[in-house]
Structure 1
Amino acid sequence: MQLGSDTFRAVLNDVEIALGCECSVVGLWEDGEGEPSYEIVHGDKCVQFFRRLSFSDLEKRFLDHVVDVFNSAFNDDFHSGMDMAYCSAMASVSVMDMAVAKFVGNMHWYEVFRIIQNIKSLSYEKYEGSAVKTGLLVFDGRTDFGIRRPGVNFIEFSELDSKGIILNDLVLRDAAFYRYVDGYDSFYACDVSGVVKGYYNIEESVMSSFDKICGQKVLSVLNVDGNSMFYIGITSYSDVEIYKSNKSRIVFRRGKWRIFDCSVIDAVVGNVEFDIEPWRCFYALSKIRKGSLVLFTDRFGEIEDDRFIKKHIDSGSGVFDVIRESVKKCGVRSVVESGELLRMLTTDGMVMFSSDFRQVMDINAIVDTSKAPSNEMGGGGRSTAAASASMYGIAVKVSEDGPISVYRNGRCVYKVG
């Protein structure tokens, strides 16, 4: 199967959604559509990937896996007698799943692929009208389960005269599997073959809202043992979420995979030491489906001179005025610890921070959208406001349906989710 085929184009469509990029395939000696951000040469073809932001090493590795999986699974000899429509259908539903499995599972990719399929199937289920929530910490099978450490309690099925349960249709149809273990404060432990050995309970701890939402409780267990491979779970919005560190989050959302590279989000805000990494804030909002608009800037003199802030949201009682004055100039660390930052980011209007993300400068701001370039207008009020605000710094918009968009100099330079 050629990389220039319609079948591979179907795969590239999914890649574009996963990484917020554009893709094309050209002959090795042909001129492309411009200077690619990354390219993969295979045979006489060159797969080119374009994005206004550079691809990270993690994203490049994932792209390598996608091309490798396609070449392995859809070689000409194996599919020479198969109808092209069947090949395209198979590629569109399987290549990305296999690439994700290889990315997180390495040599155990097939076993991981099966676990992913089971959890994806479960993510479509509802219980009493709400999305099913649960999670698994997957080990490579070379270690005993049951990490003992303060604040973590492991309930091992072998101690209950059971050898464990195997992930299969019967287990996944049993509401008991997901009613008790929610993937947040408790999660199962299983090996790569899908045998669930028990589950962890994590005692209540003092964590910021962002740390809890971004899975730091899970990582407190996952990072202890070198034989743990990754976590996979279902969120309250039926997303399938996979991670093994704070480097990335791989999310299956609305039928497509999305790759959140945490370093890309942080780097676009600025390569500085943060009190809290920006990616945690924006990914948390994306995960819980809360819209927000943020500007990172030090150009407050220009903002004031240009009368960029038109007004502030006010309920008429003066409550917002009092709150706004009390939090302006607060350190970001203090509002994270108090829980106020999440509330700020989920109220109406724009929130402004210093460019190093250390101080809150303003909240609930309604801004002049006329500064947005004409080609960035028309995408909705929040998008237009983000494009306009980015003339003064870096603007980040989180949509209520999940995507994170980064704007710079009036243009959207990155979108994922």
Structure 2
Amino acid sequence: MDRFASPKTKEELLSSLHYIFPITNHKEIDQNTIIPAIEEKNNLGLNGQYAFWSEINNGVVCLIYDNNKPRQPHKALLLTTVQKPEQLDLNFANYFCKVFNDDIKTLPLSEKHSELWISLRQTQFRRAISKFSSFSTEPIIQWMQIVENSVSLRYENKPFSLCLFMTKQREWIQTPLGSRFIPFKKSIPFAKGIMAEKWLRAAMSSHNIGIAGVGFAGDLFGLFDIPYEESESDELFSPHEDLTSISKLLVKGTCLFITTENGDIYLQLANKSTFYKTQGRWHYLNYNNIYKMLKQFLNEEMSRSILKICLNLSYEKQGALILIPDVLATITEIIPDINQKNKANGDLRDSIKGLKITDKIQRRIITTSAKIDGALVISRTGTVQDVACMIGQPSPEKLAELKIEKLERYSGARTTAAWNASTYGISIKVSEDGPIMIFRHGMLITQIG
């Protein structure tokens, strides 16, 4: 059977697209729908015809081509997403779908090429990332493979973690860092330095020191002290706010690898896209999607601060629930025991109350407190109202006010709690596995991971 016509091929493409978009629904569309969607796209002057946003269908269209000459779209998936993707998201999806279609062309027969297809499937995301970057495909794929292998290494019985800045030109990192950068007397081959040089593992294990590589071969040419200075007005988001200053050095022709003691890998590109490998799978992340959504309801300073807390928790693999109520007057309904003298975690809750998430030092303390079971409740001006507290279940009157017929129940207790909390305003669930979901008034409004 031709691979492009196989139902399994459509399922495989859809499975991968879930690691790019927050998909809520999908359907296959026929030629009568595909052709107008492509014509609409061409009229907008957009390049490529593999994945794009269709206004007339209000969704993302992803194409699977046949193997005729010239190739024509055989089928298409129409994806409904939590929010309209940014053009950056669509650009990466287009690269991924092109890689997927090129593999279909290379291995056109489902049964005959099944083993080779499995091998290609395992590398599709990695190859799409390499094409999306500003580096040549071959070297960055090799770097990604070596970095993936490095997470199994240990130093003094601790998992090895690194901060690795890759650049086409030495001066793009060496000049802005100045005295923070210490060049090697002699460059070290990439694979040897990452996989075999134990002294490098010792130097980088605390994430205070990074390493830089240059050129096509990626030879390592120096160490640098990771700067932590940061302006609270920054709108560049890194997997953890302590890494924002090094992320700010990213320009076209550079990329940043970060690995964690949990075995996760982050790859940041200069276009503000982030790729994240956890539990054996690569994900595409665009932090700006959350920031943009939060700014619809909160001011910019609050939106930045909330997002930084969420990203820090996600990076550290700490689950949490955050609530920003619409109206503080309902606080006793939201937190039934807030005024009780012998409330659970009372000393902590009374101590943290009143701190501001917009203050970086206080935000560190608040973030640590948010890791404790219960919710972190913050006013719309950024003042902590409570922490490590239980959120009350919305009353029938509250549900009726929002025109919600019944309570929602999810497989995860924290997700259910986040939904309950969202009836009072904006609630954010950070999963221990990393994903972030934001609800408002009983609706999921955005998510990443």
Q: TM-score range by the shorter chain?
A: 0.7 to 0.9
In structure 2, what is the equivalent of residue 133 of structure 1?
A: 161
Q: What's the CA shift for 1:232?
A: 0.9
RMSD value over aligned CA atoms?
A: 3.7
Q: Does 1:394 align with 2:431?
A: no
Residue of structure 2 in register with 1:195 after alignment: 218
Q: 1:25 to 1:364 in 2, by over 3 A?
A: same
Aligned mate of 1:324, from 349, 369, 385: 349
Q: C-alpha deviations, 1:257-280, integer Å up to 9, x for none?
A: 122211111233233311534322
Partner of 2:4: 2
Give the letter for the 1:29 counterpart: N
For 1:364 and 1:27, how far apart are their aligned partners in 2? 51
- Per the alignment, in what secondary structure is the counterpart of residue 168 of structure 1? helix
Tell whether 2:60 aligns with 1:38. Answer: yes
CA distance in 1 between partners of 2:211 and 2:262 (Å): 20
Q: Is 1:360 paired with 2:404?
A: no
Provide the secondary structure at the position in 2 that maps to 1:263: helix
The structural deviation recorded for 1:89 is: 0.9
Contact kept in structure 1, 2:321 and 2:418, CA below 8 Å: yes
What TM-score do you get using the length of structure 1 for normalisation?
A: 0.83
| Structure 2 residue aligned with 1:310 | 336
Q: Give the drift of 1:179.
A: 2.6
Check whether the contact 2:427–2:438 (CA below 8 A) recurs between aligned residues: yes
User: Partner residue of 1:273?
Assistant: 300
Once the two structures are superposed, the pairs formed by residues 248-259 of structure 1 within 5 Å of their partners are: 248-259=273-284
Say which of 88, 91, 103 aligns to 1:61. 91
Equivalent of 2:287, from 242, 251, 262? 262
**Partner of 1:110 in structure 2?**
138
Partner Cα separation in structure 1 for residue 237 and residue 156 of structure 2: 25
C-alpha separation in 2, matches of 1:112 and 1:262: 23
Letter in 1 for 2:372: T
Give the secondary structure class of the aligned counterpart of 1:199: strand
The verdict on how the C-alpha distance between 1:314 and 1:119 changes in structure 2, with shifts beyond 3 A counting, is: farther
TM-fit CA distance, 1:119:
0.7
Q: Deviations over 1:356-376 (max 9, x none)?
A: x53223322212236697673
2:411 to 379, 382, 393: 379
How much has 1:99 moved relative to structure 2?
1.1
Counterpart for residue 181 of structure 2 = 154
CA contact (8 A) 2:322 2:427 kept: yes
- For the pair 1:20 / 2:46, whether they are aligned, the reply is no
CA distance in 2, matches of 1:273, 1:296: 15
Give the distance between the partners of 1:250 and 1:333, measured in 2 at CA: 27
How many residues were matched structurally? 405
Q: Is the 8 A contact 1:183 1:233 kept in 2?
A: no
What 5-or-longer segments of structure 2 have no aligned partner? 38-55, 66-72, 400-404
For 1:172 and 1:147, the matched residues in 2 are separated by 24
Aligned counterparts of 2:268 and 2:392: Cα–Cα separation in 1: 39
Greater relative contact order: 1 or 2 (C-alpha under 8 angstroms, separation 6 or more)? 1
Note if 1:94 corresponds to 2:123.
yes
| Partner-residue secondary structure (3-state), 2:204 | coil
CA contact (8 A) 1:266 1:277 kept: no
